[in-house]
Amino acid sequence: MTDTILTIDGKDILITHAERVLWPQPGITKLQYITYLASVAPRLLAYTKDRMLMIWRYPGGITGRRIEERSIHGQAPEWVPRVMYSGKERILLNDPATLVYVANLGGCELHVPFDMHYRKDYPTELVFDLDPPDGESFGLVLEVALKLREVLNSLSLYSFPKTSGATGMQIFVPIEPRYTFEQTRRINRFIAEYMLGQMPDQITLERVTLRRGNKLYFDYLQLWRGRTMAAPYSVRAQPLATVSTPLMWMEAERGVTPADFTIGTVPERLRKIKDPFLPVLQGPDRLNQNLDEVLAFVETHR
């Protein structure tokens, strides 16, 4: 296995085992993975900035052992941005050099929480995670996602979809970060229960996998303090090296599959189109995503 040194923003980073295959089926090596990350870094880092990183490390490739890391173990370069939380150093994935550093550790999946480290407990979005009963049910995912968009529109809330990078889809609603997790949980639960009433044969709110049958799990509970979700443009530890990819609603209407978005296809996609998640980045002010009226409505219809 070969080692190589990459210079990123003036920082020399030793890439160990650069030719090690991380995704066996498409034959993606560590160096190819890092090349992908470099190509999407401006997009990806916009969504991880100032959020405490959680990584799934696969030092030997995705078919090997998985290590979940939420804090720095051992020594990290002094230039890696970090913040102390609960007595531990947490990485902030704020720059390309840190992105490459994490990738060299075998960080094949990059997950971030729903709040910023400097404004803990105030999420920046509502999120619904649509998890199908098997990998062959993405048509069901799209059906539920489009119905959810209708419901959110009725509440005057703009929403933005992305593939999970695995088998499902996640729907983001950017909000002002002044509502607690408890408040956003009340809204999420209200919407989830309404969706269940509208689509009882298609979805379930049952967290226990064995009790879901052939229904899609409408997960409204993931949005909570300390929990995380794959960052937009993060690759997933899936056989085809699929990527968690923001979509346009017209693409969901037309029909897509998770396999359409991989390490091999996403960079070219980003060269051709604007980032569909830009409104999520630009914040709720332009979209007028104020939850005061929604919260009042939920409270009167509990």
pTM equals 0.95
With CA atoms as reference, report the closest residue to 129 among 227, 241, 256: 227
Q: How many CB atoms lie within 10 A of CB 282?
A: 11
Confidence at residue 2, expressed as pLDDT on a 0 to 100 scale = 82
Confidence of residue 281 (pLDDT cuts 50, 70, 90): confident
* Residue 137: pLDDT over 90: no
Percent of the chain with pLDDT over 90: 89
Confidence of residue 135 (pLDDT cuts 50, 70, 90): confident
What pLDDT, in 10s, does the model give residues 15-30? 999 999 999 999 999 9
Same fold, 4-113 and 125-227+235-300: yes
* Residue 131: pLDDT over 80: yes
Residues 88-99: what's their mean pLDDT? 97
Q: How many CB atoms lie within 10 A of CB 27?
A: 10
Give 299: exposed, middle or buried? Use CB within 10 Å, 0-12, 13-18, 19+: exposed
Longest dimension (CA), the chain: 64
Q: Is the dihedral of CA 254, 26, 62, 90 positive or negative?
A: negative
Give, for 98, the enclosing helix (H) or strand (E). helix 96-104
What pLDDT, in 10s, does the model give residues 116-129? 999 999 999 999 99
Residues 121-139: what's their mean pLDDT? 92
Residues 9-13: what's their mean pLDDT? 95
Assigned fold of 125-227+235-300: DNA primase, PRIM domain (3.90.920)
Q: Which two tokens stand for residue 8?
A: 């990123």
Confidence of residue 1 (pLDDT cuts 50, 70, 90): low
Distances (CA, A) of 241 to 20, 24, 33, 59, 260: 15, 9, 9, 16, 11
Q: Which residue has the higher pLDDT, 52 or 284?
A: 52
Confidence at residue 33, expressed as pLDDT on a 0 to 100 scale = 98
**What's the CA gap between 199 and 201, in Å, rounded?**
6
**What's the CA gap between 231 and 205, in Å, rounded?**
24
Do residues 67 and 73 touch, judged by C-beta distance below 8 A?
Answer: no
Confidence of residue 287 (pLDDT cuts 50, 70, 90): low
Confidence of residue 288 (pLDDT cuts 50, 70, 90): low
Residues 41-51: what's their mean pLDDT? 97
What pLDDT, in 10s, does the model give residues 99-113? 999 999 999 999 999
Region label for 106, one of left (φ > 0), alpha (ψ between -120 and 50) or beta (otherwise): left
* Residue 133: pLDDT over 90: yes
Residues 183-204: what's their mean pLDDT? 97
List the chain domain ranges.
4-113, 125-227+235-300
Residues 1-26: what's their mean pLDDT? 94
Range 4-113 classified under CATH 3.40.50.1220: no
Residues 206-230: what's their mean pLDDT? 95
Give, for 47, the enclosing helix (H) or strand (E). helix 30-48
Tokens 């219809």 belong to residue: 301
- Residue 154's Cα: distance from chain center in Å? 25
Give, for 294, the enclosing helix (H) or strand (E). helix 292-300
